[in-house]
Chain A
């Protein structure tokens, strides 16, 4: 039977209604401004929906308002594996995630926002998938269900084996920049979340489900061929799990969150900043940029890859920007977005409102692009 670790960040989302950009470390301030806890309510809605589906699972959770209270209220049996004081502290999320990992849960279901997702991911990385009941001020990461009720369906799909874990981005506000008055969302980590699996037709009328690794392998193989055919071209690889797989296939030391570069059979740049990228670009006549969109949110540029500034992008032809995504992730991402901060450039990149995305070996499909 599937084992689910469940935790609620009781203060998540409180800052939103009173104009704070998050609730981490600000719960007391939020409460004094009149904010009421909302996470519990969202968790209760999701659990009530899930209980209706009558799907069995083994549940482990935290005490009281960090989980146990809501499972009991929904009539779901559970075991408490992390006792949190009331009120709970931010470090309780990390401790709970550790306890869940020790319990060998198959998935962590959490109720919170980007901050909670980051805390959990810092512990579990890509060892087990996580799924968020949306309840934060910021929800830029691609691990959240669309609504609490939809989250129940996703969990049910995962338990029944219909949905499989695949790569998802953990995004959050860059607090350092925010303190200087800049609103910048950046990529913090890569996690796993349940996705509808990719189907591959193998023979007459028969289709098999391809694992995320298989599909990434197909994409990587194609990019690998392109790279070997163009030894004179500079290939710049953006951040994320998809480009990480491509980098690894090329034999690069690809950074998960950074921009790396490859040309003529070897790595020519690692974790590059804007200046370094511009410098590198000057050395090559032809440049190709490989990017993967942020799942669900659809940002191709402007989130998690600000090193790729408008000056960098202007050196690259639109047809030389290769967008790569697994079909599963693309299906969950209705619109792609360019948000470089340069509106003219964004409009040029949006073109007629669609752009082709590499989804498998030598195979592409059009995706809609947001026109500003």
Chain B
């Protein structure tokens, strides 16, 4: 057999290009800010995860620079061997304190947290019960374990209870219920209080991926546990530093037992280099800012409410969103793509989310609000949406 060892690379890439499924990331020239320079053009940024505009906060930048001076550019090792610095531990203590949990552990990324921890929590003879719309990194975490998986209809607590009862009757060893806290495509919030209550009835563990709720929902942006007043009751509260906190890194908050278990068993944590000191220092500074400057979360919600109110008044359908993620429902893919392209010509950067990321008839523009946007930016973006919506026939 004559093999062409590299032929598939181009073949498979070309197949993606043909279907228009290939990623074509646009380049930011300069910082991620409310108004960015994207490939030479100044645009109002409505698709970053930088909800609180902390990625450019002077205190956080200063902390990162200072850490480079005091601790260097890199960490030298994986956390398990010689890569745990005082800064890493401080960051974890601060997370636990901020989220009112016993302990916390910081992973290299949110993805590394899910992919590293989920397969350790469940194994053969166990079952993971998952919301049908859970994020891709949870799904990969699920695939890496040998556990069975039961899926329930999005946020449907009746069906969750039925799946729990079914799993209970089949004598699974462990049951793990996993849900996103804030769903990234629709911007709705999982009823985490009810999930916890149901799980407790059946002796199931709860795991909430709060990547889009961290820094956004709950008092001072303390996340999903605080939002529902169930801090410390979610067995694993997972979050990220890469979105509202404006840095990078995944986190889990929960009991001391959880931290001890997770750091000894998660292969992603054990086998990747630890965060550079600048990252750990920036994480600490981000929590400082959240604790001491409540105005960012307030401004995020003020902008969100204003934008939602105006866009709805124009006649756009925004689905079930109750968070700074606002889907502008467009129906067919072509409309979402046309609207996004029009917005870009008007200096507004908002990406279309189309099939196969969402169902064929549920194409949308996903607007992610930013606390740093001023009223004039919002007015400009809204005017562009109004003109574009009329142009593609979404509103009258």
Binding site for B on A (CB under 8 A): 162, 199, 201-209, 319, 352, 354, 356, 359, 362-366
Contacts and interface: CB of A to CB of B under 8 A. Distances in A.
A199 B359 CA distance: 9
B166 A205 contact: no
A362 B166 contact: no
B151 A365 contact: yes
Interface in B107-160: 111, 132, 135-137, 139-140, 146-152, 159
Given A199-B356, A319-B169, A206 B136 contact: yes
24 contacts: A162-B360, A199-B356, A201-B136, A201-B139, A204-B135, A206-B356, A207-B356, A208-B21, A319-B170, A352-B162, A352-B165, A354-B162, A356-B163, A359-B151, A362-B146, A362-B147, A363-B148, A363-B149, A364-B150, A364-B151, A365-B132, A365-B150, A366-B162, A366-B166
A274 B357 CA distance: 47
A205 B163 contact: no
A206 B151 contact: no
Nearest to A208: B356
B148 A364 contact: yes
A362 B136 contact: no
Contacts of B166: 354, 356, 366
A205 B357 contact: yes
A366 B21 contact: no
Interface of A is mostly: strand
Given A207-B357, A319-B169, A366-B152, 17 more contacts: A162-B360, A199-B356, A201-B136, A201-B139, A203-B140, A204-B111, A204-B136, A205-B184, A205-B353, A208-B21, A352-B162, A354-B162, A354-B166, A356-B150, A362-B146, A363-B150, A363-B151
Interface string B344-375: 00000000010011001000000000000000
Interface centre among A354, A362, A363, by most chain B C-beta atoms within 10 angstroms, is A362
A212 B21 CA distance: 21
Nearest to B184: A205
Contacts of A199: 356
B357 to A, nearest CB: 5
Nearest to B146: A362
B145 to A, nearest CB: 9
A205 B151 CA distance: 18
Interface in B59-113: 111
A354 B166 CA distance: 9
Contacts, number: 56
Contacts of A352: 162, 165
Contacts of A203: 136, 140
Interface of B is mostly: mixed
Interface centre among A202, A203, A204, A206, by most chain B C-beta atoms within 10 angstroms, is A204
Contacts of B170: 319
Contact of A205 (B136, B149, B360): B136
B360 A362 contact: no
Interface of B: 21, 111, 132, 135-137, 139-140, 146-152, 159, 162-163, 165-166, 169-170, 184, 353, 356-357, 360
Contacts of A206: 21, 136, 356-357
Contacts of B140: 203
A362 B149 contact: yes
B159 A366 contact: yes
Closest 5 pairs between A and B when the two form their complex, measured CB to CB: A207-B356, A365-B151, A363-B149, A204-B136, A362-B148
Nearest to A229: B124
A162 B147 CA distance: 33
A209 B360 CA distance: 12
A201 B139 CA distance: 8
Contacts of A208: 21, 356
B361 to A, nearest CB: 10
A352 B151 CA distance: 18
A362 B21 CA distance: 28
B136 A364 contact: no
Nearest to B185: A205
Nearest to A319: B170
A228 to B, nearest CB: 13
B205 to A, nearest CB: 18
A131 to B, nearest CB: 19
A78 B61 CA distance: 70
Contacts of A207: 356-357
Contacts of B135: 204
B234 to A, nearest CB: 23
A362 B169 CA distance: 17
A339 B360 CA distance: 36
A319 B165 CA distance: 12
A366 B163 contact: yes
Contacts of B169: 319
A162 B356 CA distance: 11
A366 B161 CA distance: 11
A202 B162 CA distance: 28
Nearest to B138: A201
A356 B135 CA distance: 23
Contacts of B151: 359, 363-365
Contacts of B137: 204
A73 B246 CA distance: 64
A208 B16 CA distance: 10
Contacts of B146: 362
A207 B354 CA distance: 11
A311 B111 CA distance: 51
Nearest to A364: B150
A197 to B, nearest CB: 9
Contacts of A354: 162, 166
Nearest to B169: A319
Interface centre among A162, A352, A364, by most chain B C-beta atoms within 10 angstroms, is A364
B159 to A, nearest CB: 6
Nearest to A204: B136
A359 B132 CA distance: 13
Contacts of B111: 204
A319 B167 CA distance: 10
A363 B149 CA distance: 5
A362 B123 CA distance: 12
Nearest to B358: A207
A199 B146 CA distance: 21
A229 to B, nearest CB: 9
Contacts of B353: 205
B158 to A, nearest CB: 10
A162 B159 CA distance: 29
A202 B356 CA distance: 11
A20 B135 CA distance: 54
A64 B379 CA distance: 63
